[in-house]
Amino acid sequence: MSQTYGKTRWKRFALVMVPGVAATAAIGVSLANSALAASFSVSGQQFKVTTAQLHGYGFSQFGSVDVDAGKGFHPVAVSAFDSATINSLCQSVVTDLSALGLGKITLQLNAGQDPAKPVVAENLLIDLDQLEADAEFKNINIGQDASTLTGSALKDWKTNPVLGSKGLPTGDKGFAQRADEATLSGVKQTAWATSAGTFKLNGLKLNLLKGDGAGKECY
């Protein structure tokens, strides 16, 4: 397996696989050939996330598909970190309660605002479909066969009961990338799901805000 050593820095690197268009097509091919199974069910609502900086170890990324409660499939890039620290985390999701006369309500969550007390996550998985950031990787390998990925963050994902015996995609249909260390700064992303073995939200603040858009959502 080829290796790429040293630092790799891409400004405004869209982490929805590399390259994004080709990866999306590859997901469709993989589904058609039963090489790629859906990861797990999602609510059908996307949410926005911003962070000043995410620094993690044991980074992996590969294509997958989330199931939207009977509404269809959503191609995603699964970003996995064995461990990560997150500074100035903001997460927001909008719910339309117009039927109750309440209009749109934004749930906004903030944590890790104190640089000395960041958010700490172990075995972090993010199912995203859009991301902007300044990114730096150490010892990155792009184009790795997803079936060869290792790391504690992927242990439970591989044995997810929704996946059954299919696990991670294999062969040339399973494009992935892997890095020993990753630092993402100025992050803006939309995601369908986030999960972690442990998720320590230091300085957690949660607010329900009337309306949506600027000043209510994270961006």
Rounded to whole angstroms, how far apart are CA atoms 36 and 65?
8
pLDDT at residue 135 above 90?
yes
Q: What is the largest CA-CA distance in the chain?
A: 58
Is residue 176 pLDDT above 60, yes or no? yes
In angstroms, rounded to a whole number, what is the distance separating the alpha carbons of residues 12 and 109? 25
What are the structural domain ranges in the chain? Answer: 7-210
User: What is the average pLDDT across 118-145?
Assistant: 93
pLDDT, greater one: 122 or 27 = 122
Average pLDDT over residues 166-182: 68
Q: What does the pLDDT average to over 178-185?
A: 96
Taking 70 as the threshold, does the pLDDT of residue 172 lie above it?
no
pLDDT computed for residue 131 by the predictor: 93
**Residue 178 near residue 144 (C-beta atoms within 8 A):** yes
Q: HSE of 73 in the Cβ direction (CA atoms, 13 Å)? A: 14
> For residue 28, how far is the Cα from the chain centroid?
19
Compute the residue count for the chain: 219
Number of other residues whose CB lies within 10 A of the CB of residue 123: 22
List, for residues 75-126, the tens digit of each pLDDT value: 888 899 999 999 999 999 999 999 999 999 999 999 999 999 999 999 999 9
pLDDT (0 to 100) of residue 41: 67
State yes or no: pLDDT of 63 exceeds 50: yes
Residue 128 to residue 156: CA distance in whole angstroms: 18
Q: Mean pLDDT in the chain? A: 79
pTM: 0.79
3-state secondary structure of 129: strand
List the structure tokens of 85. Answer: 């620290």
DSSP string, 28-55: HHHHHTT---EEEEE-S--EEEEEEEEE
